[in-house]
Amino acid sequence: MERRHFLGIGIATGFSLILGRCVYDQHQAFPDVTIAQKEAVLAACVPIFLDGALKGNAAQKQKAIRRTVQGCIAFINDLPKGTQLELDQLFEQLSGQLIIFATLGQWQYLTHLPLSYRAKWVEALRHHGITLLRQAYEGLREMIIAAYYVHPEHWSALQYQKPQLGIQE
């Protein structure tokens, strides 16, 4: 057996073991996509997409993040079942270690990454060569921003005035 052949087999075996471990861990930890898995991905993305819009102290920011995540989950639950299944697949992939490793080179779950690495991960999704990941970025961004600005207390930052409905006397 030549050295080159031996090294190729070693690399292929190592990659197979890593891929197998990742798939096995994902299906053991999350047999189906759960609300907690969706919340983890959304909570990791909200501070990045709303950078500069989140005001106040840490407790107020966490409250706004939780409220935005809950709004996103409510929106997803109102979608047709087919769309929900597609989003479940997306959240399953985004919450796994393999996509983080492929985009960042970090072998951790998204929730364990520091904010700076999550920002790099989101930016990697935005400019990724795979169209599906770019679409995932756009969809997450639009949904998170809509869930945040749906509340009237955030309208002043946009200089938006509440419309006057009804007949005035």
Q: What is the pLDDT of residues 82-127, one digit of tens each?
A: 888 888 888 887 777 666 766 667 677 777 778 888 888 888 878 8
Rg (CA), the chain: 20
Out of 50-59, 98-107, 134-143, 147-156, least confident range: 98-107
Position 24 confidence tier, pLDDT thresholds 50, 70, 90: low
DSSP H/E element including 107: none
- The three-state secondary structure class of 160 is coil
**Cα–Cα distance list, 112 to 42, 51, 88, 94, 117 (Å):** 14, 19, 21, 13, 10
Q: What is the pLDDT of residue 30?
A: 44
What would the pLDDT profile of 85-96 be if each residue is shown by its tens digit?
Answer: 888 888 887 777
Coil, strand, or helix at residue 147?
helix
Query: Which sequence spans correspond to the domains of the chain?
Result: 1-30, 32-152
pTM, to two decimals: 0.68
Tokens coding 124: 């990697």
On the question of pLDDT at 27 being above 80, the answer is no
Single-letter residue type at 54: L
Whole-angstrom CA distances from 29 to 33, 76, 109 are: 10, 22, 12
pLDDT in tens, 63-81: 888 988 898 899 888 889 8
Q: Are 64 and 45 in contact (CB under 8 A)?
A: no
Which residues are within 8 A (CB) of 52 and not within 5 positions of it... i.e. 6 or more apart?
A: none
Coil vs helix vs strand at 159: coil
Q: Yes or no: say if 69 and 124 are a contact pair by the CB < 8 Å rule.
A: no
